[in-house]
Amino acid sequence: MTAVLDQVKNVAYTGVGVNLVVTDAIIGREVPAPKAVTEHAATARAKGTEALTGLRGRTEPLAAKVVERLPEQVADAVDTGRKAAWGFLGIDAPKPTAPKAAKKATKKA
């Protein structure tokens, strides 16, 4: 879990640095982002997206179980908020795996 947090921190620090370079360019200094900064930002973004995608894949099934136990109105609000948060981060929902779905279907039958 600390690896995920370290990657998220790396992405955040890179984002702040890139924003400062962009702000300088906007106010007239026209400081182009060095190639190394651009490459580092792209790498940090890819690592952060990968880490958050893995995190979402592990937490979505647990969150779904918790939401099932909540009253309907609360569950709807929580579900809407979760989807909005992940959408804001740009992380796609994990795709359900077929073997688990098949196991659940056979248990119910």
Domain boundaries, the chain: 2-108
Please give the structure tokens belonging to residue 51. Answer: 């880490």
Burial call 54-77: b when 16+ CB within 10 Å, e when fewer: ebbeeeeeeeeeeeeeeeeeeeee
Residue 35 to residue 41: CA distance in whole angstroms: 10
pTM of the model: 0.50
Picking from 80, 87, 78, the residue whose alpha carbon sits closest to that of residue 56 is 87
Q: Could you list the pLDDT tens digit for every one of the 109 residues in the chain?
A: 677 777 777 777 666 666 666 676 667 655 566 888 788 888 988 898 888 888 888 888 888 899 999 999 999 999 899 888 888 888 887 776 655 554 555 555 5
Report d(CA 39, CA 56) in Å as an integer: 26
Which pLDDT score, from 0 to 100, does residue 77 have? 92
Q: What is the pLDDT of residue 102?
A: 47
